[in-house]
Amino acid sequence: METSKVGHAIKNRKVAQDVFITPTLLALHHLKFSLGEDIDDDLYKETNDIVNVLDPCCYNIDGSYVKHLRELNFNVDYCEITMGKDFFNYEGRKDGLDTYAIIGNPPYSILDRWLLQSVAIAPQIISYLIGQGNLTAKRIEFMNKNGYSLKKVKMLKVFKFYGMSYIVHFEKQPIINNCIEIEDVRKVWR
């Protein structure tokens, strides 16, 4: 019963409230889905520091994604508007290196603008946790037109979010075909 009350409140809100903290274990699962299941092996942890990853909305410096990326020895950059680092003003890494991947849980109410900024940064990988209704043909088409192919999709249920969610994984490459891998694992994340 409690879940339906939460869902009803989210669905019928008057003002978008896009701060939904990603459960820590789900963030790790998302990182492994997009960067490789073995990223926490000691051998990979030694070389992960050459991989530049951006969390575009970390919520705080110890946010779910940033925390794991640092623990796994990735070269991490982050944005968070409440900390004065607006993703829409992001001009690249301070060290001048290219961003290899953008991974996170973006605000759904401005997803189109978010995707536009993501492709402007031009990483190799763009991977987001989004609501099921947000994965539209128009958005996939937009990504295709900007050189990104949808390579993997994973469906899951996040208890605190409304409805089913997807982890979508786009890669920069010539568009040959979309969705070569779709995984439907309906684990509930709390």
In this structure, which amino acid lies at residue 143?
A: M
Say which amino acid occupies 161. Answer: F
Report the distance separating Cα 130 and Cα 90, nearest Å: 21
Q: What is the pTM of this model?
A: 0.83
Residue 183 has pLDDT above 60, yes or no: no
Domain boundaries along the sequence of the chain: 16-189
Tell whether domain 16-189 is in CATH 3.40.50.150: yes
Taking the C-alpha atoms of residue 84 and residue 102, their distance in angstroms, rounded to an integer, is 19
Q: What is the pLDDT of residue 48?
A: 83
- Between the ranges 3-12, 31-40, 59-68, where is the mean pLDDT highest? 31-40
Return the pLDDT at 1. 40
Phi, psi of 160, rounded to the nearest 5 degrees: -85, -10
Span 128-136, average pLDDT? 92
State the alpha helices, DSSP H only, in 36-147. Answer: 42-47, 64-71, 111-121, 137-145
- Between 186 and 121, name the one with better pLDDT: 121
The pLDDT of residue 146: 95
Nearest to 62 by CA among 24, 106, 28, 36: 24
Q: What integer pLDDT is reported at residue 92 of this predicted model?
A: 87
Q: pLDDT tens digits for 94-104?
A: 888 899 999 99
